[in-house]
């Protein structure tokens, strides 16, 4: 493995670790036609997907909505910012992911949070597979 390939793998891994769960996040960029602002329907769709996976109560859904509304435009802005290098994007996405986890953990039961983490892991694996296929 070349030095470049190792560096690329490290960057991709850092990005994968930082991105919040569910492929719905990825679909936001496609649904907004290049816009850095995901629309309300996309955020609601993501919330519904999370709610279904984690079996959220109505109160939990209500608590999650502002977190997702705050997070989505930040992620879109980073992903679409061409002035940032891959490492800078990875670092910023990781910070957003950590901040989201910190906000989400008190809302979820221990079992739900464990499932949240499993969803994140699955998303990381999918992202790594997607990146490997692009090479």
pLDDT tens-digit series, residues 25-66: 444 444 444 455 667 888 899 899 999 999 999 999 999 999
Q: How is 100-120 classified by DSSP, letter by letter? A: HHHHHTTTS-HHHHHHHHHHH
The gap between the terminal CA atoms of the chain, to the nearest Å, is 14
**d(Cα 106, Cα 108) in Å, to the nearest integer?**
6
Q: Taking CA 64 as the corner, what is the angle to CA 63 and CA 69, rounded to the nearest 5 degrees? A: 115
Alpha carbon separation from 6 to 12, 13, 75, 98 (Å, rounded): 10, 10, 25, 24
- Of 36 and 86, more confident: 86
pLDDT tens-digit series, residues 111-133: 999 999 898 878 767 766 766 67
Q: Give a three-class secondary structure readout of 63-113.
A: HHHHHHHHHHHHHHHHHHCCCCCHHHHHHHHHHHHHHHHHHHCCCCCHHHH
Task: Read off the pTM.
Answer: 0.68
In this predicted structure, the answer to whether residue 14 has a pLDDT above a threshold of 70 is no
Phi, psi at 110, each rounded to 5°: -55, -40
pLDDT of residue 127: 64
């Amino acid at each position: 493995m070349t030095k470049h390939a190792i560096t690329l793998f490290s960057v991709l891994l850092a990005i994968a670790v930082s991105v919040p769960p569910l492929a719905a996040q990825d679909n936001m960029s496609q649904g907004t036609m290049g816009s850095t602002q995901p629309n309300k329907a996309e955020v609601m769709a993501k919330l519904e997907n999370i709610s279904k996976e984690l079996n959220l109560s109505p109160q939990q859904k209500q608590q999650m909505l502002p977190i997702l509304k705050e997070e989505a435009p930040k992620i879109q802005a980073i992903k679409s910012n061409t002035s940032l290098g891959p490492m800078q994007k990875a670092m910023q996405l990781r910070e957003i992911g950590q901040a989201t986890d910190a906000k989400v953990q008190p809302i979820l039961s221990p079992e739900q949070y464990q499932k949240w983490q499993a969803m994140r892991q699955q998303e990381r694996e999918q992202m790594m597979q997607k990146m490997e296929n692009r090479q």
